[in-house]
Chains A and B, each alone.
Chain A
Amino acid sequence: MRRIWASLPGPVVVKAVEAVLLLAVLLVALFFLFEWAGGFLDSGGAITG
């Protein structure tokens, strides 16, 4: 975490904004990953032929 924070460019305020944006992108990516992977657990049960 500390290393990621250190690698963010700019002053502390800019770093904070970058960190929030990075977190948002990560959460959206996680959401899509979970939705996709959830299809293997339970796809909804429809016949897909």
Chain B
Amino acid sequence: MDTRAILRRAGWGLIWAALLLFTFLAYQLFVTDLLNSRVQAEAKADLEVDLEERRVELPEPETITVEDTVPEEEPEAPTTTLPPITFIPEAAGEQGSTLGRMVIPSLDLDEVIFSGVNSETLKKGPGHMPGTPVPGQPGNAVISGHRTTYGRPFYDLDLLEKGDRITVETATGLHVYEVRRTLIVPPDDVKVIQPLVGAWLTLTTCHPHFSAAERLIIQAELVEGPNLEYANLLVARDVEHEENT
């Protein structure tokens, strides 16, 4: 084969490779967005019905009575009973089922969230990590989402600042969180999904843009919601326990 023939073949090879790459990028950046927007539109239309179905399955709220602690220096002082605290428990649903809606006004984000973080679920929208509490529950609720494909719900997550609000609506009501910290960690850093005292929301996404090499983590603390008093009680008990040990 002469040099011209080799060059011609190499040229065609490069043209096909470029075409393949272009098609790949078009699929990832536009087609996946289109697929996701249809799923999100359907999920938003059905959200109220789905939440109502979940409400029916909720366990009975728990009422917790709290006795004010007696200071050690005043053992004779009477114990006062504080107004009862109501705790509304909620468990995650089946993999891929609708869990609620997340709104971040500062990012103009409004997404239906689903139970589970497998690849099929995350194509639909942000997903709740199984084994972590549902948003609004005490502990560390973890939600993961795509950054650059499938509707890119968490594209601008790095723009969140301390104090920005994140609202999550689930079957138990509206839970408002305030951003406390931003971290960048390796993809297998499980420290960020460990349980926390109080009620926290951890958002995880790929970092940097167009790479899955790291994870961008946003941690926000519950500041409003039906379980806020219960979460605060758990924090107070933890502080008390720390002081006594």
Contacts and interface: CB of A to CB of B under 8 A. Distances in A.
Interface in B193-245: 193, 204-206, 210-212, 215-216
A28 to B, nearest CB: 13
Interface of B: 23-24, 27-28, 32, 117, 119, 122, 127, 129, 142, 144-150, 154, 187-190, 192-193, 204-206, 210-212, 215-216
A45 B184 CA distance: 12
Contacts of B210: 41-42
Q: Which of A38, A45, A46, A48 has the most CB atoms of chain B within a 10 A radius of its CB?
A: A45
Q: Is the interface of B mostly helix, strand, loop or mixed?
A: mixed
B145 A45 contact: yes
Interface in A1-49: 30, 33-34, 37-49
Contact of B204 (A33, A40, A45): A45
A15 to B, nearest CB: 22
A43 B187 CA distance: 10
B112 to A, nearest CB: 16
A37 B24 contact: yes
Q: Which of A30, A41, A49 has the most CB atoms of chain B within a 10 A radius of its CB?
A: A41
Contact of A41 (B117, B190, B205, B211): B211
A46 B37 CA distance: 21
B193 A47 contact: yes
7 contacts: A40-B211, A42-B210, A43-B212, A45-B147, A45-B215, A46-B117, A47-B187
A9 B215 CA distance: 52
Contacts of B190: 47, 49
A47 B215 contact: yes
Given A47-B187, A47-B215, A34 B144 contact: no
A48 B115 CA distance: 16
Contacts of B189: 47, 49
B146 A45 contact: yes
Contact of A46 (B24, B127, B216): B127
Contacts of B122: 44-46
